[in-house]
Structure formats: C-alpha cells, structure tokens
Structure 1
Amino acid sequence: MLTHSSYALALVILAQVAPAETKSKPLRSPSEVRKAFLTMLDRPKVPLDLKVERSETSPDGFTTERLSFASENRADGQVERVPVLVVRPPASKEPLPAVIVLHGTGGDKEKMKSWLVELAERGIIGVAIDARYHGERAGGSVGADAYNKAITRAWRSKPGAPQEHPFYYDTCWDVWRTLDYLETRADVDAKRFGMIGISMGGIETWLAAAVDERVAVAVPAIAVQSFRWSLQNEQWQGRARSIGAAHQAAAKDLGEADVNARVCRALWNKVIPGILSDFDCPSMLRLFAGRPLLILNGDRDPNCPIGGARLAFSAAEAAYQAEGASDHLRILVAEGVAHAVTPDQHQAALDWFTRWLASTKPKDKQP
C-alpha cells in the first residue's frame, strides 16, 4: 500500500514522464533526429585538463597509458572526469587509427584491455573508458550498484532539478569528449576513428556514433534491438533485469507489486527520453548509413529480442541501400546464442576494423 509520501512521489514522476509514448508516430528525418539528440545532450564544454597517470612501454614496443580528462562541470560544482586506458602500437612515422572500446553493464575499462591489445597488434590505437558510475567512477562500489543508484536518483528527480541521464546518454557525451581528446594527439589520425561496444557499451555505440560523423566505423555488439518493440511484445524482461534494482525502485514508486511494462515505459521515458521513438535503434541506425557498420547479435538474446533486432536490421539495410552502400553493412546473427559475443563474431569485429581502418582511410578502402 502506498504511503502519502510515496503516492505524492508517484504523481510527480508520472507527471514528468507524460505524455507516454503509447502510439506509433512517424519518425523524424535522420537530420532532424541527429539535431534533436545532440540538442538534448548538449552542455557547456570545459577544457580537457588532461592528466597522465602513467605510461609504460613493453620490450616489444607496445605502450600502455593511463590518464583522465575533464568531460563537464556537474550541477553540484564537481568536475566530471573520464578515466582512460590506452594501448598504443610501437612508434609509427604516420598517425594511426584509433578505436574506442566500451564495456557492458557492471564492467569497466580494464575488462576491455584484451580488445585494446588485439587492436594494437593490428596497428590500431585501442582506447577504453569507464562509463558513468562504473570502474573508477563508481565511488568504490563494485558491479552495477552505483549505476543502479544513479538511475534511481534520476528517476526520482523533481521538476526543475538538474536531470542526469546516467542510463546510456551521459556516457555518449563522454564518448564525444573522448573523440575531442583523441583529436589532440599527434599520433592519432582523426579521420580514422572507430567504435565497438559490448551490450550496454554497444547501445552507447549506436547512439553516440550515429550522430557523430567523426566515427568512421562502428561495431555494436549484442546491443541492436528495439526498445519500443520489446514493450509492445512483452519482451522487456531481459533489458529490465540488466539494471534490476532501478526498475524495482520505479515499480515501488508507482505502486506496482513487481516490474511490468508500465514500469519500464515510465522509467525509460524519464531517464532515457526518446528511446521509444526517434532515439530507438531502428531510427538511429539510419544516421550511420554509408559508414562501415558491423552488427553482432544472437538470436536467443533476451536483452536484445530478435524480433525487435530484425526491425533495426531492416531499417539499416534500407538506409544503406538508399545510400548505395550496402557493401558497407554486415549483420552477423549467431544461431542459438543468447547474450554473448561468439569467438567468430569477435574475430569478425577485429577483421572489420582492419579492413576499414588499419591500412587506409575508410573512404578509400575497397570491399
């Protein structure tokens, strides 16, 4: 039973998430979607204030760097800093391509180091960051605890209060700032940026890369889906379980005994606004058309139900065909595989970056 205070909170939250996105609306054009997403996440840029913690070079010439930069000034007056891990190939006379690698929910940049090493072995600078409320940014907590708490705070924020978007969107801003940082490096070719992300990191990849044309090549892994489709077809459970504590908190605030589609819709509309319409994956993939895109999914993935994923595949295929660039799109769906990247998909991702980034600029590379 709702107490008076929790009932009042529920009314406030429901007022903020209305109108709910219950009816299908025509999607805006790619240019309009790009502008809307960038405008929603825009905030004042601050000087990068780069701080290099340490740099170590192995006997075979590979260099590992640990550093951080300033991303933004927070509403509480603190500077939001992004911890970065870089693995660089042996010294080259020419600037090298760079690929940003994003981890999944509860992970951190350290878990992506093997990817960075494999990229460096192919002549590509590998770069990983900690997402918001993960790794060094989790305040000492482990896994996704700090992340769930941040999403819950964002859900419960009151009208007029500063609104965080820790669920994907704020990390997109950090990705764009990472690109700003990489552009300052003399050893990086700013025309050859790539991105790959796993799960949560894959969602952040198709969101951030879609609107930032500095990203020449992208690989969203176990991330392509349709949030709208999952609600319409009662297949939201996998995504909700990935940050279960935040969804349970929202259910309690709304007077629901457990998480359901109504809870997901209300929470998503509040903390990731637009994800059920213009900023859903089938819409956002249109914005990447023409640039090399490799999509990795499993057909048994409960977090990315294949029915919704197929809507995104079709949207991408149509957009690439319209651009005359169907050969720049590849979709690999692993049969019988749930929420995991297979060894073959892992290898395909590395080969994709080698093909389009390692030896020449993407626009000059022939299929």
Structure 2
Amino acid sequence: MIGIDLFSGAGGMSLGARLAGITPCIVAEHDRHAGETYLHNHGRPSVFFNDDIRKFEKLPITRKSEIVLFGGPPCQGFSTSNQRNRSKSNLNNWLFKEFLRIVSLYMPEWVVFENVKGFVETEGGFFVRMIGEELTGLGYSFAQAILNAVDYGVPQNRQRFFIVASLGERAFEFPQAHRGGAVCVRDAIFDLPELNNGASTCFLPYVAEPTTSYAYSLRGSQIGCTNHLVSRNSSQVLERYAYIPQGANWESIPEKMMGNYKDVRRCHTGIYRRLAEDQPSVVLGNFRKNMLIHPRQNRGLSVREAARLQSFPDWYHFKGSIGFQQQQVGNAVPPLLAKAIFDKIVSA
C-alpha cells in the first residue's frame, strides 16, 4: 500500500503508516519547520508539497498500489480549550473541505481522518455530519470512533477522533485496546539524562540503562539522542514549581505568588501541572505554554521527553528552534496510535 499524507506536520501519522507497512508517496504540509523535520526523518517522498493546501492539484501516481489517504486538518479551532473559535465562522475550521476535495481527486481505497475529540461536539456535530455525507456521496462506507492513545501503548491520556472510510463495502473495525497496564511517565522518560531549566545541548549520551520495554524499544541501538531542549523559565516560575506535588496544578501555588494573573481563579486546570510518574501523562498539547512540569525536577519538559510521551523513537530528530520543535511534538498524532489504525487497514 502507498500513502497520501495531508497536513502531515512532523510526520507522526506517516511514521505509524510506515510501521504498518504503508509507504507515504505524496505529502502535504504548509509549515516550513515541520516540513524540514518530516524530510529529515522520512526522506523525500515522490511529491512533497510545502505550501497552502488550497493550492494543491492532483499529481499523478505511477505506482499501481492500493492508496491510503490520511491526515488531520488543523484542530485548534475544535479544541474544547478554545471556545472562542469553535464555530462555523472560523475559516481554519473549514480546511477539512480541502481534505475531502483531495479525496475526490484520488478516490483512494482507504481514507483516515483524524482530529481532536472536540470536533465531534463543535456546532452540535455539524462538521462530522458534513464529512459523513460527503464520503457517502463519493461511494465510501465509514466507521467513526474516539480512541485514547493510552489504550494503544502510548504513555499519555490523549483522546482523538477518527473516521476510517473504505471505497465500497469493506467493513472496518477499530483496533481493540491493548491488554495489561498502561505505560506510565516513569516507564517512558526516567532513563533520559537529568536536565536543568533552559537546557540547550541538543545531543546527549544515555547515562542510564532502559528499565522498561517501552524505553528500550524507543532507544533502539543508539548511544544517545537529540532534542534535550528545555524552555528557560524565570526564577518566579521556578519558585512556583516547587510548591506543586505530582499530579497537582496551579492550585497548589500560594495565591500571593500568582499576583501577575488578573483573576487566578480563572486559570485553566492544565496550567502548572506536574506529571505523576506512576500514571500516563496528561495530554501534551502546547506543553510549553501550559508549563507542564517534570515529575521530580523543577523545570518544564524537554522536547525529547515530550516526544517519548508521544511514542516517537529516539532516532526521530525535530528541526527548528525550540518553540517550533515543541509545537511539532505537541501537535503530532502519536505514531503508535496511528500504527494501530493502519495495522487494521493492512489486514482488512
């Protein structure tokens, strides 16, 4: 099978596809830095479209294979934490129409649409119904579900919405959740080097042996890995970190230390959250802005730690400045979650 990856970002879905035996041949991504990361890790596909998706026109595929078209249009406008832009009036909320337009150009055997859980709820389900109607009109049958990445070997509670469509009447059943306990934060990142606030040395050798099968699988045969970058927080922020136990958030900080907030009671529950080492991570999202805290060290998460919590292997190198790297990791579809979907398609 070959793949068409739309809105590819740094390549989380493409990596999941490759792990399932699908080769991405056409890739479209507008952001230059995410595109640089994609090319560095995947190599150049037959077509790499690094421009506005609205300018994309059909390009020929010479290889005779079943096509799986997949992608996740920008999701910020559908997030439950972004109530201001969760409406039909937000133009970015309509980019899924470009996804459907390209489906109609290629008429692939399989289609995988991914987005945040909030996509289902926005405008009373208006967008979900529209996608279903258009796919049906093109001759596809489809199934839809909300999956939690933690159920597929990812050490993170991250719920995502999927539509999987097949051309014709081939039925699709979503993968069953893995049996056994969830992978926790300690399993995922505690073999990585200790870092300081504002750490900026990209490559570091491993200093401890992996103690879990999860860490071992992501390390492979490498002697070290990259992206050990941490945002530099002010001394005021670091003082706040010290008050927060594992699993708690900003509410553990003395109110007198939160004076720069106009109304501290309106802070989001995800702000200043210290990860609990014996549990899966909370959803990463914009982990720099939310100031997610390392379980034991008074600092934010490094890019590599966040990548581990997303199930990216250690050889996967993120490009651009630290801010762009953080955005790429936070926006990505966890590769192991994507692989679970693609495995079911390959075996259908």
TM-score (norm 2): 0.31
Flag the structure with more relative contact order, 1 or 2, with Cα contacts below 8 A and sequence separation at least 6: 2
Q: Hey, which of these two has a bigger chunk of strand by percent? A: 1
Decide which structure has greater helix share: 1
Q: TM-score, normalised by structure 1?
A: 0.29
